[in-house]
Structure 1
């Protein structure tokens, strides 16, 4: 399965799209399955990185600084440059802001790993990125759209996502690592869990697409206007991430991880925010889902192209450092 991951993921998305189109009534039920499936995926992801290595990664000041600058300085500046050209509809603009201003903390780790990026560094950065976006998002919305729309975004879904998608999977992964280190039975369970990465990723994509496709039907004409912005975002952030990696003198694996964290957005976590908006802003959730679909195809391209953009012998650490 690992040798055919891209094909499997595309097939999962196609199956999800077909299921959502044929049986739209399943959408609400499938929405409740998103967090459990995603939590299981992150549990397996955390399991593959030893706890001690994860703790050491938190002390990697240059990587964390690069991730923060890319996500909370470069990305807002790029969004500001695009903002004036977005459709005038407030709900559509709000949807674009919600999804583009929040860095991904879930499947970015998987895709970065597929491109030989430093997944363990991204794992260490996920709590910092999630807390930072939770604190900064209201301020960003206020700057872009005014106080009325900023006030309707609540932090509750972010806190829930932090506990369900980060704290619980990480604690379970560390517990299993400790068991595996002491008992052969624990090692067998750990080895078995590690083989589920590809199926869980496929299941996550299928559930997300199937649960959200029914909402796209009546808004296809509207959402088509935001697709070019998502594509431009992916293209620009590839080169912005590379520039940030060079600025902070990161090696190629770390630099690839920075490219991925800058390009991938937190659509699965901000979707509950969009779904909780008033009916007058309901199209915002469709705009968020559209970004998910565009991004998954973009990530498949990234997996192939980012290693070429930042080859293994492209050593940013060769930049002279002042004594």
Structure 2
């Protein structure tokens, strides 16, 4: 499965789309699968992280500086420019800003790891990225759209995501690793769970796409306007991530993680925020999910592409 994981991910995306489109009753159950599937996926991912190295990762000032500057200085400038193409539609603008201004803290670790990135450093950075975006997102939205939207955003979904998608899987992984060092049964269970990485990723991709594809189809005329914005964002963030990594003097693994962090967004975490917005902004959740689909397709390409670009950048 690992040898054919890219093809399997595309298959999962297609299968989720077909099920969600032709079996409308499956949308609710698929939506309920997303959070537990993502939590299990991250648990399996964290099992492969050497926790003894996390302390060093936190103190890696150059990596942390690169990832924070990229996500909270460069990204807002890029997003502001790209968002002008949909500035005439409040719902489209809101969705684009909400999803593109928030760096991913969950499956970016998975994709970066598949591309040979520094998983331990991204893991150490995840809580910092989460807390920083909680503080800065209202500020960025206030600057871009005014106070009305900001007052409707609650921090609870962000806190829940940090606890259930990062802290709990991380704690379970640490306990499992300790058990594996002491007992053969622990090693067997740890190996088994790590072997579920590809199926869990397939389940997550299928659930996200399948749960929202029908609603996206109904609003396809409006949503096609944001697709070029999302593609342009992904294209622009690759050279910016490479540049930030080169300025910081990072090695190939850390540079790969920085590029993935800049390109991937927190769509699964901000979706509850989008769903909590007023009825007049009912299109916003679909704008967010559209970004998820575009990004997931791009990520399976980036797993192969980014390592080559990092190597080429370092050879210059």
With the length of structure 2 as denominator, give the TM-score of the two structures. 0.97
**Any stretches of 5+ residues in structure 1 without a counterpart?**
317-323
Q: Distance in 2 between matches of 1:111 and 1:277?
A: 30
1:148-167 aligned within 5 A:
148-167=148-167
Of 94-103 and 20-29, more deviation after overlay is shown by: 20-29
Aligned to 1:122: 122
SS at match of 2:286: helix
Q: Does 1:298 align with 2:298?
A: yes
State the 1:315 CA deviation: 6.7
State the 1:96 CA deviation: 0.4
State the 1:84 CA deviation: 2.0
State the 1:87 CA deviation: 4.5
Aligned to 2:236: 236
Cα RMSD of the aligned pairs, angstroms, is 1.3
Q: Distance in 1 between matches of 2:211 and 2:263?
A: 24
Superimposed CA distance per residue, residues 66-99 of structure 1 (whole angstroms, 9 cap, x where no aligned partner): 1100000000010111222225111110000110
The number of equivalent residue pairs is 316
With the length of structure 1 as denominator, give the TM-score of the two structures. 0.95
Superimposed CA distance per residue, residues 169-199 of structure 1 (whole angstroms, 9 cap, x where no aligned partner): 0000000011111111111111111101001
1:95-110 aligned within 5 A:
95-110=95-110
SS at match of 2:311: coil
Contact 1:180 1:190 in 2 (8 A): yes
1:183-222 aligned within 5 A:
183-222=183-222
Q: Distance in 1 between matches of 2:87 and 2:13?
A: 27
**Any stretches of 5+ residues in structure 2 without a counterpart?**
none
1:135-150 aligned within 5 A:
135-150=135-150
1:161-176 aligned within 5 A:
161-176=161-176
Contact 1:67 1:261 in 2 (8 A): yes
Aligned to 1:319: none
State the 1:307 CA deviation: 1.5
Contact 2:16 2:207 in 1 (8 A): yes
Aligned to 2:45: 45
Contact 1:177 1:190 in 2 (8 A): yes
Aligned to 1:28: 28
Q: Distance in 1 between matches of 2:151 and 2:313?
A: 48
1:3-82 aligned within 5 A:
3-82=3-82
Contact 1:256 1:310 in 2 (8 A): yes
Q: Distance in 1 between matches of 2:133 and 2:54?
A: 21
Contact 2:119 2:257 in 1 (8 A): yes
Contact 2:12 2:206 in 1 (8 A): yes
Q: Distance in 1 between matches of 2:313 and 2:193?
A: 33
Runs of 4+ in structure 1 deviating by more than 6 angstroms, as ranges, are none
Aligned to 1:307: 307
Q: Does 1:131 align with 2:131?
A: yes
State the 1:32 CA deviation: 1.9
Contact 2:41 2:201 in 1 (8 A): yes
Contact 1:253 1:312 in 2 (8 A): no
Q: Distance in 1 between matches of 2:192 and 2:32?
A: 26
SS at match of 1:102: coil
Contact 2:83 2:229 in 1 (8 A): no
Superimposed CA distance per residue, residues 260-282 of structure 1 (whole angstroms, 9 cap, x where no aligned partner): 00000000100111111111101
Q: Distance in 1 between matches of 2:55 and 2:280?
A: 45
